[in-house]
Every structure is written in C-alpha cells, then in structure tokens.
Amino acid sequence: MPTALETELAEKVISMVPNVEKVRFVNSGTEACMSAVRLARGYTGRDKIIKFAGCYHGHADAFLIQAGSGAVTFGSPNSPGVTPGTARDTLLANYNDLESVETLIKANPGAIAAIILEPVAGNMGCIPPEAGFLEGLRALCTRHGILLIFDEVMTGFRLAPGGAQEALGIRADIATFGKVLGGGLPVGAFAAAGEIMRHLAPEGPVYQAGTLSGNPLAMGAGLAMLTAIEADPEVFSRLEQKTAYLHKGLQSALEASDLPFQINRFGSMISVHFTDIPVRDFESAATGNNPHFKTYFHGMLDRGIYLPPSAFESYFLNDALSYEDLDLAIASAGAAMSRNATR
C-alpha cells in the first residue's frame, strides 16, 4: 500500500530530476538497476543489453560481467553462479569508446534493449565522460530504438539537484537512484517518462514488487534529505570547491615523490590512481599499482584518514568536511607517500 511519504518523495524526485514523470521505489541500487533493465526489455521486446567494462550496477547476474569496484577488488569480475545464457545477453563495451558501442550495435541489429552506464564512472575510480561520449550514446540510442539507462546511484542528487542528467545536459530514458535518495537508509528507485513506466504492473505486463519498497522510514529520511538539498542549492558549489581544493593539495603532496599517479575529479567525486597514464576507462584504471595503493591506504588510515578501501572506488566528499579536515588529509597523503617512496 503506498504511503503519503512515498507520494511526497516521488513528487520531489520528479520536480528535481529532468525527463522523469513517474518513479518506482525499491530497496537498493541493485534492485533499481535490475528492474530498469527488465522494464527496458519489456518495453522494447528485445533481450540484450550493453554495459561497460568497469561500471558496477549491483550484483544482479546480468551485471557481473566485467564489473568494477568490489568485484575487481576481490578478484572475481566474472562471478561464479552467472550462467552462460545470462552472460550471452550482456554485451561489453569500453567506457569513453563510442566505436566499441557502434560495433556491438552493428553486430546485434534490432536485438539490444538498453545501454546502461554510470554517466560519471565511480567504480573504477572516478572517471568522467570525455567530450562527445554521452552525446554520442544518446544519438545512437535514439537512432536504433535503444533505451539509455543512467545508473545514478552514485551521481543522483550528488552532482546537481537533478543529478548527472542536469550536470551534463544529457537526457536518459531511464534513471536509477539510491544512496542519497534514502538519507542513509536502504532505498533505491528507477524513474522514466510515463510512456515507459506504464509498462510496469499493475498498469502493464512487466512485473516488479517488494514488500519493503517505499517503506515509511526510508521515504521519510529521503524526503528530509532532498528537502535539505533543495533548500540549500549552494551545497553543490561548496562541494565542488572543496573537491578542487583537495585535488590541488593532493597533487602538490604526491608530486614530492617520484612515484607516478593520476588524479581524476568531477564535482564532489575524486580518485587517485597510481599509474603513469591517463585513466579514462577500465583498462587504464587497471594499470594502477594496486600493492602501492594498499600501502598508501594503510598509511592514510594510520593517520586517521579512512579512504575507500579499493583502488577502484571513487572518493565522495560531503559538506560536513571542513577545510581543516582537508588540510589534514593533504598532509597525511604527503606523509604516506613519503613512507611508500622509501619502501
């Protein structure tokens, strides 16, 4: 049974996010992405999807094909338990590489239901989209009747009030959300135009349900979070300024060592990659010196700075961090790097 809070939060999401008219709440980002793909398949009548190496969309079977973040960290990017049939319906492209997408579309004419990606990748470190990449995907999807799904579990309400769609000026057909939307409680959601969402049961034939979906605790926390964001739109510029400050400080601190590194940043997302080549996709992210990252991570932890414990995970700044906190992180990075450089 829907609650008043669920309706209020849905109205808030629709008012903030471009290009959506209806929202369906679930309990996690995994559920949101899984349901979005099912909806895309039901809407288009097609079976295959394209995902990108290094992008993580939760632990549903269809997504554990060259997944990023935890799957890579723990050494199982192609998880046991995923059937060959499932794997055959998931086509793998390279992030920031339109040609690889075009090749897959040409090889599978009329068979691809959706292209799903993180519009700003966060599960192979922070990797922003290169100029023209998302625009090219949007054009390909429109041309071939493919639905474009933005996994905004990380970027939604974080990069702008309307997420990556607003920040980047690209409109997806379906967007998925989590994390911020729950105000710290378990939540997920997927949203789209009414024409697409009407294919969901009970209006349409595509089934999705969950006993705890839209539960009042999560809806209340999410509504409080989005209301706070809406009341303080300057939070996004403050976060971007703090992230730029951290970037500059880390750059200076790490340059004191002769060890190679790259820093990627977009909005309040940032990551350090210990490699000597620009990081623009999963292949380049995988060139990072992972043993060195582990030593660096523990060097920072020893100094009270808890980084994401994976070389394939973006950092996320929050507005509670002061510039004094950032200065401590920068000083700690320099010390940890000096420690690493002597090993």
Do both 155 and 256 map to the same domain? no
Q: How many angstroms separate the CA atoms of 100 and 239, rounded? A: 34
* DSSP state letter for 273: E
Do both 168 and 253 map to the same domain? no
Reported as type and span, the H/E element at residue 6 is: helix 4-16
Out of 12, 179, 242, 281, the active site residue is 179
Task: State the residue for tokens 């369906």.
Answer: 24
Is residue 199 a contact partner of residue 26, using CB atoms and an 8 Å limit?
no
- Per-residue pLDDT of 83-115, as tens digits, reads 777 778 899 999 999 999 999 999 999 999 999
Out of 151, 173, 242, 315, the active site residue is 151
Task: State the residue for tokens 């700075």.
Answer: 305
* pLDDT for position 340: 54
Q: How many angstroms separate the CA atoms of 337 and 331, rounded? A: 10
Is residue 43 a contact partner of residue 115, using CB atoms and an 8 Å limit?
no
Q: How far from 192 is each of 24, 131, 228, 274, 341, CA to CA, in Å?
A: 9, 25, 24, 38, 50
Domain limit, last residue, from 206, 231, 256:
231
For residue 312, the cross-strand partners are none
Rounded average pLDDT over 195-224: 95
The number of distinct structural domains making up the chain is 2
Do both 208 and 253 map to the same domain? no
**pLDDT surpasses 70 at 71:** no
Domain limit, last residue, from 180, 210, 231:
231
Token reading at 278:
């620009």
By residue range, what is the domain housing residue 111? Answer: 4-231
The CATH number given to whatever domain includes residue 300 is 3.90.1150.10
**pLDDT surpasses 50 at 15:** yes
pLDDT bracket for residue 74 (50, 70, 90)? very low
Say whether 179 is catalytic: yes
* pLDDT for position 195: 97
Q: Which of 228, 166, 147, 223 is nearest to 189 (CA)?
A: 223
Looking at the chain, how many residues does it have?
Answer: 343
Do both 329 and 191 map to the same domain? no
- Per-residue pLDDT of 274-291, as tens digits, reads 999 999 999 999 999 988
- Per-residue pLDDT of 329-340, as tens digits, reads 999 998 887 755
Do both 194 and 244 map to the same domain? no
Report percent pLDDT > 70 for the chain: 94
Q: How many angstroms separate the CA atoms of 113 and 170, rounded? A: 19
Domain limit, last residue, from 205, 231, 257:
231
- Strands 315-316 and 269-273 come out as antiparallel
The CATH number given to whatever domain includes residue 25 is 3.40.640.10
* pLDDT for position 75: 41
* pLDDT for position 79: 67
Cβ-proximal residues to 23 (8 Å cutoff; 6+ apart), any chain: 9, 10, 13, 14, 189, 190, 191
Q: How many angstroms separate the CA atoms of 290 and 124, rounded? A: 12
* pLDDT for position 68: 53
* pLDDT for position 257: 81
pLDDT bracket for residue 61 (50, 70, 90)? confident
Helix/strand/coil for 12: helix
Say whether 56 is catalytic: yes
Do both 268 and 329 map to the same domain? yes
Do both 294 and 325 map to the same domain? yes
Is residue 58 a contact partner of residue 116, using CB atoms and an 8 Å limit?
no
pTM of structure: 0.93
Q: How many angstroms separate the CA atoms of 188 and 76, rounded? A: 25
Say whether 281 is catalytic: no
Do both 55 and 183 map to the same domain? yes
Do both 264 and 180 map to the same domain? no
Do both 323 and 219 map to the same domain? no
Out of 22, 48, 56, 97, the active site residue is 56
* pLDDT for position 100: 95
* Average pLDDT over all residues of the chain: 92
Do both 153 and 19 map to the same domain? yes
